Structure 1
Amino acid sequence: MSNTDTDFEALRARLHRAIPGGAHTYSRGDDQFPAIAPPLFVRGKGAYAWDSAGQRYLDYGMALRAVTLGYADARVNAAAAAEMENGVNLTRATMTELLAAEALIDLVPSVEMVKFGKNGSNVTTAAVKIARAYTGRRYICVPRQQPFFSFDDWFIGTTALKRGIPAEQTASTLVFDYNDIGSLKALFDAHPGEIAAVMLEPATTMIPCPPACTRPAGWPSTGTCAGCDCNAQNFLQQVQTLCRKDGALFILDEMITGFRWHLQGAQTFFGVQPDITTFGKGMANGFSVAAVGGRREVMEVGAINRPGMERTFLLSTTHGAEMTGLGAFIATAQIYRDEDVVGHLWRYGASLRDGMTQVAARHGLSAHFQMDGPPVSLNYLTRDTGGQVSLSMRTLLSQELLKRGVMMPWVAISQSHGPAELQLTLEALDGALGVYAQALDGGVEKFLQGPAIRPVFRSHN
């Protein structure tokens, strides 16, 4: 064992001794990365991060997709630092939170009022409360194919992780299938007049376009889906129509799609108008900012200036309007407006997808390594000798990329990923797929250093 390996093991032990799970997000846990992955990073700049031994990695994790411009962007940092000098967090509402709220309202057509928070779970749970308060109804519907909406009991209890969660906490959360409007209609039929809202991500690697639509293959050159002849039949339109007909609220969780698919969110890309939207991740280039926003009539359930109205205790957080994060958001949004960041994410994604597909073809591995999803929301699929998706093979690929200086637990692109980063990625993949091919022939166990990565949502360690 090398000195670096020994140091890494010591750091892992310290992390697990001090922090349950060894990190503050389960997606950062040891079980989500190959055994050779550094246990922690000490700094990041642009598209790169450095471990405790000084090793540099080209990063495609990008802080769980929260960093869209690049680590330590000087413009965003300067905006946050200026707000530190203004006091960070004052006794009454601040000019910064007013400007930030107005910036989001000006940016996203469906947002007329907004409440800020520090993480996505708080604002999605707030959206649920708003929907129940506004409609006076009980049930919330979410798609089973989308694995995470909140750390709160109303959602986590629907997953395999049920320990510590009373069953009654999730009895009002109903599950349907994305892209299957019949499965959602069945819930409305089973609970007439009782569904408060449908909450879903607009798209992941799965898109809401009807099967007959060929337009997505040409993204982004073909433009948004809002102008497509098939748009009226897309799944989001169907969900919106069903909600409007029944009186339920239509909630889009744009935690990941926001500030990636379109400057105004995936809702504008797909041509729908939700009643409530939640944002986070890329809002402030890694600073802790999340938001729930929507049309005024709905959001005003949390108002205090409407005499005689029954009160709803909505989001009320000491740090929700912390000025550093909101200053970072204002600066990030302006950079998006000025520099076509979204266009870059689409273009780089298309080049990455095409390049990685070509490398796999050169190795004769087109059936075993594949790119999935639109350019702005890519995933890679790793298949075993039988053609089945394999976590062991995914771990091996990630391991071999790490050895070549690329960390790719998933694919999150930033403005800082450019031609040099694309070339480095393709060269690393070329070497990694050479080992991958050997593992297909000789067995992955001979090449994998440590256990395979495991799903976050499993019932036991």
Structure 2
Amino acid sequence: MDNQTTPEPTHSIIPGNDLGGYAYPDDVSFVAARGTGSHLIARDGRDFVDYVLGSGPMVIGHAHPRVVEAVARQAALGTHFYILNERALELAAKINGHVPCAEAVRFTASGTEATAYAMRFARSFTGRTKILKFEGAYHGNHDYAQVGRVAKLGHNSLSHTDSAGVPASIADTIVVGEFNDLEMARQLAADNSADLAAILVEPVQRAIPPQPGFLKGLREIADQTGALLIFDEMVTGFRMEMGGAQQAYGVTPDLCTLGKVIGGGLPLAAIAGRRDVLELTVSNLPQDERAIWFSGTLNGNPLSCAAGIATLEVLEDEDGPRKLEASGRLLADGLTEIARSLSIPFQMIGHPAFAEPVFSETEIRNARDLAATNRAAIVQLSLEMMRRNVHVMGGGKWHLSTVHSSLDLDFTMEAARSAMKAVRDGGYLEARS
């Protein structure tokens, strides 16, 4: 038989040449070949200091030896069972031990599934239909999450759909307020109290921190109306504190959704919270009209759970949240000082472990405040950083890992100084998107 060669893999068959969410121009885009620690290596050999970290899951870095070993050990025992397994039990116990609201845990394969189920749980438990959420929050890709996801300046209604293919009737079930506006939330809850099933919030919305008393106020509104309070802790969970934002801010929700960190880089998410709510999903218990159908082929996958357990153990052993915060503060302070030396208005908003650069010195309280800043210049900064071998998301958060070194931070600062000069000298700070 004639020798045959396998053609070089291409990505032209994938629409947009990306996996969804965001894409870079051809001159800076790359195909990832491998990750090691805080670095991502492209197929063409470029070596990037990585602040995307898989959109957050790689909190202890790429290919951490303890995760690699845990996954290999579990793979030898079996990669999937579709039945309760030892690793799922172990990970659920860890979540229960750290997360204040986690009386019970249900696993899903993605964050989108987790938030969709959390909303369904709230509707079933309360017998109501409406969800109060906040403009600019990201709760996944299901239809309900595509209402008020994008702040649209000059748009009169906050309850607008943000993707084609989402029925307009979906927006009738979603009530949208402005993050950090407690009075608006109170009024919206009062206006919809008979139908309000839940208040769904990112406790740190993208990178916008809550104002003092905002989360506590939402807890009070939920208690007064009989709605459930749901924290979307996909980003904040095990990153701000081992118990997430609910531990950091001292406000316990009825339910929370968790993901990213708990899968250690493999697909996994969870809904955690009140046992009386989650037990509505138990198929062999006596049920009433509130019974919830809950299933998923890869729920509690043992390979994902093994990676998650190993990741949480590293965070426990190394006091990971404090490490992330310390490195993040050094990065944020350094970038802010560089901008000041270049006479550029700049700030890093949010928690140091996942802060976001903004070309403005005005306080950012909600999504409209953020949208009013120079987003085009921030996207350009991202491109300039990519050209200098620093991998950052286009206009998004910069994630820290426990393995970002002082050398990584020094390299990033040097790149940032040159990149900010390019943005300033290119006139992008004067242009508006």
User: How does the TM-score come out when normalised to structure 2?
Assistant: 0.87
SS in structure 2 of the partner of residue 255 of structure 1: coil
Q: Within the alignment, does 1:282 sit opposite 2:261 as a pair? A: yes
- Alignment check: 8 A CA contact 1:115 1:315 kept: no
Pair 1:18-2:13 in alignment: yes
Q: Deviations over 1:125-181 (max 9, x none)?
A: 0000100110001101110032x2121112214455342122123321110111111
Displacement of 1:441 in angstroms is 8.9
* One of 23, 29, 43 as aligned partner of 1:38: 29
Q: Which residue of 1 aligns with 2:186?
A: 185
Partner of 1:197: 198
Structure 1 residues 443 and 111 mapped into 2: Cα distance closer, same or farther (>3 Å)?
A: closer
Distance 2:277 2:376 in 1: 47
1:392 has 2:392 as partner = no
Is 159-168 or 287-296 further displaced after alignment? Answer: 159-168
Residue 417 (structure 2) aligns with = 430
CA distance in 2 between counterparts of 1:442 and 1:62 reads 28
User: What's the CA shift for 1:189?
Assistant: 2.0
Conserved in 2, the CA contact under 8 Å of 1:130 and 1:314?
no
Distance of 2:223 and 2:414 partners within structure 1: 50
Structure 1 residues 299 and 412, CA gap change in structure 2 (3 angstroms):
same
Query: What are the equivalent positions in structure 2 for 1:270-309 lying under 5 Å apart?
Result: 270-309=249-288
CA distance in 1, matches of 2:223, 2:428: 54
Cα distance, 1:44 vs structure 2: 0.9
Quote the Cα distance in structure 2 between the aligned partners of 1:92 and 1:68: 28
Q: Tell me the amino acid that sits aligned with residue 378 of structure 1.
A: A
Asked whether the 8 Å contact 1:138–1:195 carries over to 2, the reply is: yes
Structure 2 match to 1:155: 145
Letter in 2 for 1:206: I
Q: Please, which of 377, 381, 386 is the counterpart of residue 402 of structure 1?
A: 386
**Partner of 1:376: helix, strand, or coil?**
helix
User: Using the alignment, how far apart are the partners of 1:118 and 1:417 within structure 2?
Assistant: 28
What is the letter of the counterpart of residue 400 of structure 1? E
**CA deviation after TM superposition for structure 1 residue 437, in Å:** 3.0
Over residues 281-302 of structure 1, what are the superposed CA-to-partner deviations in whole Å (9 max), with x where a residue is unaligned?
1223311110001111111111
Aligned counterparts, 1:5-154, within 5 A: 14-15=10-11, 17-26=12-21, 29-30=22-23, 33-90=24-81, 92-146=83-137, 148-154=138-144
3-state DSSP class of the match of 2:426? helix
Aligned-pair distance for 1:35?
4.3
1:251 Cα deviation from its structure 2 partner? 0.3
The whole-number CA distance in structure 2 between the counterparts of 1:206 and 1:314 is 35
* Distance in 2 (alpha carbons) for counterparts of 1:383 and 1:263: 31
Equivalent position amino acid for 1:354 in 2: D
- Taking structure 1 as the reference length, the TM-score comes to 0.82
Partner of 1:372: 349
Equivalent residue runs for 1:210-249 within 5 Å: 210=212, 234-249=213-228
The answer (yes or no) to whether the contact 1:57–1:405 under 8 Å persists in 2 is: yes
Q: Provide the residue aligned with 1:226 in structure 2.
A: none
Shift of 1:24: 3.0
Gaps of 5+ in 1: 1-9, 211-233, 445-451, 455-461
> 1:180 and 1:252 mapped to 2: Cα distance?
17
Matched residue, 2:209: 207
Residues in 1 aligned to 2:287 and 2:380: alpha-carbon distance in whole angstroms? 62
2:110 is matched by which residue type in structure 1?
Answer: N
The SS at the match of 1:121 is helix
Give structure 2 stretches of 5+ with no counterpart.
Answer: 1-7, 150-160, 362-371
Identity of counterpart residues, as a percentage?
Answer: 29
User: In structure 2, which of residues 234, 241, 244 is the aligned counterpart of residue 255 of structure 1?
Assistant: 234
For residue 381 of structure 1, what is the amino acid of its counterpart? V
The residue that corresponds to 1:339 in the other structure is: 318
Distance 1:206 1:400 in 2: 24
Kindly tell me the number of residue pairs found equivalent between the two proteins: 401
Cα distance in structure 2, aligned partners of 1:308 and 1:43: 48
Q: Secondary structure at the match of 1:416?
A: coil
1:371 to partner: Cα distance: 2.3
Separation in 1 of the partners of 2:197 and 2:62? 39
Pair 1:25–1:281, CA change in 2 (3 A): farther
* Equivalent residue for 2:404, pick from 417, 428, 435: 417
In the alignment, the residues of structure 1 paired with residue 185 and residue 379 of structure 2 have an alpha-carbon distance, to the nearest angstrom, of: 35
CA distance in 2, matches of 1:308, 1:424: 59
Q: Distance in 1 between matches of 2:405 and 2:54?
A: 18
SS at match of 1:440: coil
Provide the secondary structure at the position in 2 that maps to 1:49: strand
**2:182 touches 2:218 (CA, 8 Å); kept in 1?**
yes
What's the CA shift for 1:340?
0.7
Deviation at 1:329, TM superposition (A): 1.1
CA deviations on 1:386-426 (whole Å, 9 max, x unpaired) are xx733332233222222222122231100111211110011
Deviations 1:362-402 (A, max 9, x none): 2222x2x3322332331111369xxx733332233222222
